[in-house]
Amino acid sequence: MKTFLKNWQLLGLIAGTAAGLVIGAAARGADAPMKNETADTPYEQFSGAWKDPAESPLLSLNFSPYYLPGDDPEYQTPLTEDAIRDALKAIAPYADTIRTFGVSGEMNRVYALARGVYPYRDSEEIKFVNKTGNETFSFRVIAGCWIGAGYAEEQIMYELDTLAELGNDGLADILVVGSEGLFRGDYTAADLIGWIGYVKDKLTADIPVGTSDTAGAYISDPELFTAVDVALYTYYPFFDGVHISRAIRDFEAMRRRLEAMAGETRLICSETGWKFEGTPVGDAEPGGAQAAEYFERVVEYARETHLEICYFEAIEEKVWKIKYDDAGWGLFDENLNIRPEVAETMGRIKEGRF
């Protein structure tokens, strides 16, 4: 749960235009699922988008490429292709799914790389090629657009249009409008529901559209469950001050509460995690041992209950998050090394022994 404001996406209107043209050109011909007009339920309509952790044992991870010294998404510091590729390469043996927090600006460069679709120039024309090789990826992608407090209507529409284009171009499997904006008070539920409908109407492919917000936001605004194709919720026992010994029981209780409200709408936990370092919250103590215990229990829980859980987070972003006291979550450190406390569990996941 990121409690700070990410107004850096405002700059995406400028920086994202050029990048978006290249990515869009590169993605033409990528496979996007066509509309299914005969499905009886959203579960059937979007069956190709869902993941069962019991059958797909690799992880779903929250992913950001801002991990190098000097990186700061709030200032749109440039991302190199090598930095993005190195980050994807580090997590690829352990994860088959990434969830993102932006689609414009520098973040727009992530999607073609994550899919293994690259542009090249033939005379004056941009064409695309699907490359293969040891450093080519085919991640399942949960793409999220950021809508922050004070965004102008033009900015919001740009984010929504870019999100829809990623889906239509076959570069994302699930589209997510906003991230914890209701929790922060950045917009209203009525506005959010309108934006979700707008993205749905822009799609030519069968891709589920939802939002990601806190469990509490869904409880406060239950109409969201009928507006979305999939309800992505964030929940951290750590932030509720729950002791590590009770964390999974607390997580289970919240899931059951949301399931009772969701009806036939599919749930995905889009964020949960435990701090390796930082400030305690109530009975929740950060630390390597606690974080490793929670991580292993969450992976076990996802497989036992068939609930997709996107773990927060893949790579440590201490270089810029420390100013918010919001660092210390990454399974990988800023040098792309697995934290030693979770190395054994990660090794078993990689080798299919978990």
pLDDT of 135 reads 65
Nearest to 311 by CA among 117, 124, 63, 19: 63
Query: Based on the structure, what is the number of domains in the chain?
Result: 1
pLDDT of 25 reads 39
Residue 1 lies in a domain: no
Residue 225 lies in a domain: yes
Residue 344 lies in a domain: yes
Residue 304 lies in a domain: yes
Which 8-state DSSP code applies to residue 165?
Answer: H
Residue 212 lies in a domain: yes
Q: Name the burial class of residue 14, with classes exposed (0-12), middle (13-18) and buried (19+) by CB atoms within 10 angstroms of its CB.
A: exposed
Residue 37 lies in a domain: no
Full residue range of the structural domain in which residue 202 is found: 7-31+43-350
pLDDT of 275 reads 97
Q: CATH number, domain at 79?
A: 3.20.20.80
Note the Cα 94 to chain centre separation in Å.
16
CB < 8 Å & 24+ apart, contacts of 184-187 = 184/3, 184/5, 184/149, 185/149, 186/5, 186/147, 186/148, 186/149, 187/147, 187/149
Residue 230 lies in a domain: yes
Per run of 10 residues, the mean pLDDT along the chain (length 354 residues) is 36 36 41 64 84 96 93 84 95 98 93 81 50 73 96 96 96 98 98 98 96 98 98 98 98 98 97 96 98 98 98 92 84 97 98 92
Residue 2 lies in a domain: no
Do the Cβ atoms of 172 and 166 come closer than 8 Å?
Answer: yes
pLDDT of 318 reads 84
DSSP string, 13-53: HHHHHHHHHHHHHHHTT---PBP-SS-SSHHHHTGGG---T
